Amino acid sequence: MRLQVKSQHDQLPNGVREYAEKRLRKLDRRLHDLTLVEVTLSRAHNPSIADDHTADGIVHTKGPTLVARESALTYEAAIDRLVDKLERQVERYRDKRTHEPRRSAPHRGETPVPPSEELEQIERELATGEEDAAA
């Protein structure tokens, strides 16, 4: 997993950057090595907004792009909520990739009939049908 932690409009303290990297490493087990994860941290400078620290996460997977946004009083709390949300999305994405092909596959007990045998069976039915019609 490739991780990019960015800040919008401010300089990000090293402690917050390290915390974000540490928490987001949790996703590393569930994602491919070349998957890009972008995290953008920003802060609203409006005193009327209580949850002014925002963390945006984008996971660029092979299929869909997973996006999440969380706000809290501190960057650490926003990162924790963001990681929880992204974990749920990644699990759902992985489940769909592993279980969906299995659902559409034929069951074990059923063996598909090869096309050549199927053709022979149809020809035999037609031949017996012609004999019945001639009689």
CATH number of the structural domain spanning residue 92: 3.30.160.100
pLDDT band at 83 (very low <50, low <70, confident <90, very high): very high
107 assigned to some structural domain: no
Cβ(37)–Cβ(4) under 8 Å?
Answer: yes
Rounded distance, CA 71 to CA 52, Å?
7
Between 110 and 32, the higher pLDDT residue: 32
Domain count, the chain: 1
CA dihedral over 16, 19, 21, 26, signed as positive or negative: negative
Give the range of the structural domain holding residue 41, as residue numbers without chain letter: 2-101
Q: What is the mean pLDDT of residues 96-109?
A: 68
Rounded distance, CA 42 to CA 55, Å?
7
48 assigned to some structural domain: yes
122 assigned to some structural domain: no
131 assigned to some structural domain: no
CA dihedral over 80, 17, 58, 41, signed as positive or negative: positive
What's the confidence (pLDDT) of residue 5?
Answer: 94
DSSP assignment letter at 114: P
Over 70: is that where the pLDDT of 42 sits?
Answer: yes
Q: What is the mean pLDDT of residues 69-84?
A: 96
129 assigned to some structural domain: no
pLDDT band at 126 (very low <50, low <70, confident <90, very high): confident
Global pTM? Answer: 0.70
